[in-house]
Homo-oligomer: A and B are copies of this chain.
Amino acid sequence: MRIGILGSGLMGAKLGTIWARAGHEVVFSYARSEQKLKRLAADAKGKARAGTPGEAARDADALLLAVHWSRVDDVLQQAGDVSAKVIVSCSLPMNADDTGLVVAHTSSGAEELAKKVPKARIVSAFNTVPSEVLFGVFEARRKTRRASLVYCGDDASSKKIAAQLIGDVGFDPVDAGPLRIARYTEPFALLVAQLAYEGDGGPELAYRFERFEK
């Protein structure tokens, strides 16, 4: 496959390198300097070269869009006509200082709940897995590698309690931070629901965070 990399930063450089090593023809484009692009292409071994966004796009079977959201318009303009192109995008709509999404996501159910009962101590948990998986996770709890379950909240002692309850069900409790992180865990819950109920594998779905060190 011919793959054009639009944005050879952290993601683009690594993915392009890996794809080149996997045998694809890769054009790296849109980095701070042409020198960096050339070095990337040389280091990738395989069939990799440096180019402009226009060259990366030309004849590409797939384009990787991997620029900061603020650069999307610019790199697309430089790429030229992308009609009918396959664009694999990993660009998130982040604001300028990378602290949040600029598209939607300005509150969460958990935060709205906390406004309703301001004196209670809310922990958001158990909304990221379907109920169908719970007994399965419980029965597998003696395994060394448990499923994860994210939780978040603003009160440390409440979170300890939540973590114990999560562990009792057979999950590995994963502290995702303050309650506002529910802006992310709640949509994640909908992603899990989509996979559980719209996919083919059945609804007994859980997830596990794991680290892969090089």
Contact = CB atoms under 8 A, between A and B. Distances in A.
A161 B62 contact: yes
A207 B206 contact: no
Quickly give the copy total for this chain: 2
Chain A contact residues: helix, strand, loop or mixed = mixed
Contacts of A125: 88-90
Given A88-B125, A119-B82, A204-B211, A61 B161 contact: yes
Q: Which 6 A-B pairs have the closest CB atoms?
A: A136-B212, A93-B109, A90-B126, A187-B187, A83-B119, A184-B191
Interface of A: 1, 3, 10-11, 14-15, 18-19, 22, 24, 61-62, 64-66, 69, 72-73, 76, 82-93, 100-101, 103-110, 112-113, 116-117, 119-127, 131, 133-140, 147-148, 150-151, 155, 157-158, 161-162, 164-165, 168-170, 174-177, 181, 183-192, 194-195, 198-199, 201-202, 204-214
